[in-house]
């Protein structure tokens, strides 16, 4: 990897080089070796910029100057005058000057005209300083060269944008079994699923590490987690441009820790970080993405389609619209309660324990239909989609056999219209509490996750709508728990829509001022998520749990 990076740095055809790679994998060494070559062969004013002035001093003392002094062609150019050789500035005998400065001090990036700019750990620089640093090479025209190297940063920051503008050369390995050239991808790392205790949810990390492997995405061959195997894969590796339409003057290199580290150790780090992220602490997971996968982190990073299905049965074959679930609750007139369909003599014609939950938007509705079992609070997603009118919602209720009193609609938007429709149809109006309220006291002295029943009239309407508040935090926590239980408790169809999957990861749990709260990930829509939260609130209201 390093030789190709050095070639790009010293090539007269390349104006900028951006290296984004995992920590402790040689990216800084490539820049340091390039500088040694430059001192001896391509002298010109050079600026080595770290995040802070103290970092620059440390880099000079511990790494850069000792390396140059042990490189014979560069060593013979070191000044004999001690005043011209300092930890943060060296004036070489061939006229080249090297300064080591921090990006935290804006004055460090002003006044000097330089030919060579080296930017270390760009992800730590104050935003905007990259532009100021690049301006320092303008006086040298096409001879000016910028070199940046960093771990993964934050999506959309200066470091990320700089790398995205390059040809983005990704390190690939060649499968010895089938000859397929492919990138190292985290989704191709596997370990024994039985290493997870299904009762406690805890991982046996010794077993995870012992069974971790990398599979070829073409032939499926599993490579063992050994240094020798990684060396064998890398021996036939090469960089492949992922953005070939980029200007040839802007070159980028990327690799992750899969090429250099134990896959078992990475798996343990990932699983521990995921466990923390589920508690709302995403710092460790962000560090994994940035430091090990060398990817730009955003709040969407910790959620993927794979996670939606991670606890679903591997043999799950039920599809959207399926209604033959033997555990679904059906009304039993004799006992005046819901019983599993398999216990009912005429389940086909009996009312179903199904909820239609609706999130109201400006001009349309997002809805979810979910079937529930009276045994253990199990459920299955039956259908989800978008409706344009209240009339469409009525048709959907009829199509999926949802009892009128089991329709729950968000009244936080277009409240009066919702109240009027609920009063007319018998649907129930829901409003999620935004103040972090965990429960509500009822007249019987008990506390529940929903408020006592209230009646609300739209304008001067003669009929009132039945309406409830519910605890956002408590119902979202319960939904999170149900999802972790997986397909036996919280079922999903095999052909679930992609947009549903995306929106299901729209929020994450965190703490603000010591209080638990669910926050949105960026600008991602969360309508299906809200519908599923209302499903949980409805299940509490109807005593399913």
How do residues 465-500 score in pLDDT, each as one tens digit?
A: 999 999 999 999 999 889 877 777 899 998 889 899
Read off the pLDDT of each residue in 3-8 and give the average, rounded to a whole number: 96
Q: What is the pLDDT of residues 183-211, one digit of tens each?
A: 999 999 999 989 998 778 799 999 999 99
Question: Of the candidates 449, 411, 452, which has an alpha carbon nearest to the alpha carbon of residue 544?
Answer: 449
Model confidence band, residue 509 (pLDDT cutoffs 50, 70, 90): confident
Of the listed ranges 12-21, 95-104, 148-157, 325-334, the least confidently predicted one is 325-334
Q: Which residues contact 313 (CB under 8 A, 6 or more apart)?
A: 486, 487, 488
Output the six-digit token pair for 164: 């995205």
Q: What are the phi and psi torsion angles at 230 (to 5°)?
A: -65, -40
Of the listed ranges 77-81, 289-293, 365-369, the least confidently predicted one is 77-81
Please tell me the predicted confidence (pLDDT) of residue 277. Answer: 78
Read off the pLDDT of each residue in 373-401 and give the average, rounded to a whole number: 94
Of the listed ranges 86-90, 143-147, 389-393, the least confidently predicted one is 86-90
Model confidence band, residue 411 (pLDDT cutoffs 50, 70, 90): very high
Answer for the pair 494, 517: CB distance below 8 angstroms, yes or no: no
Model confidence band, residue 293 (pLDDT cutoffs 50, 70, 90): very high
Measured CA to CA, the distance from residue 97 to residue 90 in angstroms comes to: 6
Judge whether residue 338 has pLDDT over 80.
yes
Output the six-digit token pair for 473: 């935090």
Of residues 227 and 545, more confidence is placed in: 227
Bridge partners (DSSP) listed for residue 18:
148, 252
Please tell me the predicted confidence (pLDDT) of residue 166. Answer: 97
- DSSP code at position 289: I
Considering the chain, tell me which residue range(s) the CATH 3.30.420 domain(s) occupy.
Answer: 329-541
Q: Which helix (H) or strand (E) holds 233?
A: helix 227-235
Please tell me the predicted confidence (pLDDT) of residue 301. Answer: 62
Measured CA to CA, the distance from residue 42 to residue 523 in angstroms comes to: 48
Judge whether residue 110 has pLDDT over 90.
no
Please tell me the predicted confidence (pLDDT) of residue 434. Answer: 78
Domain 2-164 has CATH 3.40.50.10860: no
Measured CA to CA, the distance from residue 227 to residue 210 in angstroms comes to: 14
Please tell me the predicted confidence (pLDDT) of residue 394. Answer: 96
C-alpha distance across the termini of the chain, in Å: 57
Answer for the pair 42, 7: CB distance below 8 angstroms, yes or no: no
Q: Which residues contact 285 (CB under 8 A, 6 or more apart)?
A: 270, 273, 274, 276, 277, 301, 302
One-character DSSP codes across 26-79: SHHHHHHHHHHHHHHHS---EEEEESSHHHHHHHIIIIIHHHHHTSHHHHTTS-
Measured CA to CA, the distance from residue 169 to residue 255 in angstroms comes to: 9
High-pLDDT (> 90) share of the chain, %: 72
Please tell me the predicted confidence (pLDDT) of residue 181. Answer: 96
Of the listed ranges 62-76, 267-281, 284-298, the least confidently predicted one is 267-281
Answer for the pair 534, 430: CB distance below 8 angstroms, yes or no: yes
Please tell me the predicted confidence (pLDDT) of residue 311. Answer: 53
Of residues 87 and 492, more confidence is placed in: 492
Please tell me the predicted confidence (pLDDT) of residue 514. Answer: 76
Please tell me the predicted confidence (pLDDT) of residue 307. Answer: 54
Q: Number of C-alpha atoms within 13 angstroms, CB side, residue 509?
A: 20
Please tell me the predicted confidence (pLDDT) of residue 274. Answer: 87
High-pLDDT (> 70) share of the chain, %: 96
Read off the pLDDT of each residue in 219-236 and give the average, rounded to a whole number: 95
Strands 145-150 and 116-120: parallel
Q: Which helix (H) or strand (E) holds 480?
A: helix 472-485
Answer for the pair 374, 337: CB distance below 8 angstroms, yes or no: yes
Measured CA to CA, the distance from residue 383 to residue 310 in angstroms comes to: 20
Q: Which residues contact 395 (CB under 8 A, 6 or more apart)?
A: none
Q: What is the CATH number of domain 329-541?
A: 3.30.420
Measured CA to CA, the distance from residue 303 to residue 506 in angstroms comes to: 9
User: Cα dist. 99→15, 38, 84, 270 in Å?
Assistant: 20, 14, 11, 39
Please tell me the predicted confidence (pLDDT) of residue 305. Answer: 46
In Å, the largest CA–CA distance within the chain is 102
Q: What is the pLDDT of residues 42-67, one digit of tens each?
A: 999 999 999 999 999 999 999 999 99
Average pLDDT, the chain: 91
Please tell me the predicted confidence (pLDDT) of residue 41. Answer: 95
Tell me the residue length of the chain: 545
Of residues 280 and 426, more confidence is placed in: 426
pTM: 0.65
Q: Number of C-alpha atoms within 13 angstroms, CB side, residue 158?
A: 18
Considering the chain, tell me which residue range(s) the CATH 3.40.50.300 domain(s) occupy.
Answer: 2-164
Of residues 274 and 258, more confidence is placed in: 258
Measured CA to CA, the distance from residue 512 to residue 237 in angstroms comes to: 46
What is the spatial order of strands in the sheet that 490-491 belongs to?
454-456, 465-471, 428-433, 407-410, 354-360, 365-372, 379-387, 490-491
């Amino acid at each position: 990897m390093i030789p190709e990076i050095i070639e790009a740095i010293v090539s007269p055809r390349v104006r900028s080089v951006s290296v984004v790679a995992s920590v402790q994998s040689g990216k800084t060494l490539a820049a340091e070796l390039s500088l040694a070559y430059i001192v001896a062969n391509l002298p010109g004013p050079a600026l080595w910029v770290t995040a802070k002035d103290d970092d620059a001093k440390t880099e000079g003392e511990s790494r850069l100057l000792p390396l140059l002094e042990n490189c014979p062609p560069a060593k013979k150019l070191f000044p004999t005058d001690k005043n011209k050789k300092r930890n943060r500035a060296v004036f070489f005998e061939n006229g080249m000057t090297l300064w080591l400065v921090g990006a935290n001090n804006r004055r460090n990036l002003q006044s000097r005209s330089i030919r060579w700019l080296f930017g270390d750990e760009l992800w730590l620089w104050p935003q905007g300083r990259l532009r100021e640093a690049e301006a320092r090479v303008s006086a040298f025209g096409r001879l000016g060269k910028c070199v940046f190297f960093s771990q993964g940063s934050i999506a959309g920051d200066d470091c990320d944008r700089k790398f995205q503008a390059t040809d983005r050369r990704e390190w690939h390995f060649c499968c010895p079994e089938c000859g397929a050239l492919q990138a190292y991808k985290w989704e191709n790392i596997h370990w024994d699923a039985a290493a997870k205790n299904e009762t406690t949810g805890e991982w046996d990390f010794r077993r995870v590490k012992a069974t971790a492997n990398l599979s070829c995405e073409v032939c499926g061959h599993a490579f063992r987690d050994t240094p020798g195997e990684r060396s064998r894969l890398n021996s036939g590796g090469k960089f492949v441009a992922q953005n070939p339409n980029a200007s040839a003057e802007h070159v980028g290199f990327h690799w992750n820790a899969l090429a250099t580290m134990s896959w078992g150790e990475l798996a343990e780090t990932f699983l521990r970080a995921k466990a923390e992220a589920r508690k709302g602490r995403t710092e460790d997971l962000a560090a994994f993405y940035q430091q090990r996968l060398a990817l730009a982190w955003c709040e969407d990073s910790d959620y993927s389609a794979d996670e939606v299905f991670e606890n679903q049965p591997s043999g799950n074959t039920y599809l959207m619209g399926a209604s033959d679930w033997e555990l679904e609750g059906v009304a039993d007139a004799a006992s005046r309660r819901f019983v599993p369909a398999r216990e009912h003599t005429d389940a086909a014609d009996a009312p179903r324990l199904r909820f239609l939950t609706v999130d109201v938007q400006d001009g349309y509705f997002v809805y979810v239909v979910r079937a529930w079992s009276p045994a253990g609070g199990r459920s299955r997603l039956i259908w989800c989609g978008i409706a344009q009118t209240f009339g469409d919602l009525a048709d959907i209720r009829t199509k999926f056999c949802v009892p009128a009193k089991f329709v729950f609609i968000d009244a936080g938007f277009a409240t009066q219209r919702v109240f009027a429709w609920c009063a007319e149809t018998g649907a129930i109006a829901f409003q999620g509490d935004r103040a972090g309220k965990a429960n509500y006291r009822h007249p019987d002295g008990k506390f529940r996750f929903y408020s006592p029943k209230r009646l609300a009239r739209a304008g001067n309407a003669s009929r009132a709508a039945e309406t409830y508040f519910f605890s956002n935090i408590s119902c979202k926590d319960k939904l999170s728990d149900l999802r972790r239980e997986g397909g036996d408790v919280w079922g999903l169809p095999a052909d679930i829509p992609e947009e549903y999957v995306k929106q299901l990861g729209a929020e994450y749990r965190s703490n603000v001022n010591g209080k638990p709260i669910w926050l949105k990930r960026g600008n991602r829509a969360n309508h299906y998520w809200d519908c599923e939260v209302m499903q949980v609130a409805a299940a509490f209201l109807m005593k399913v749990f």
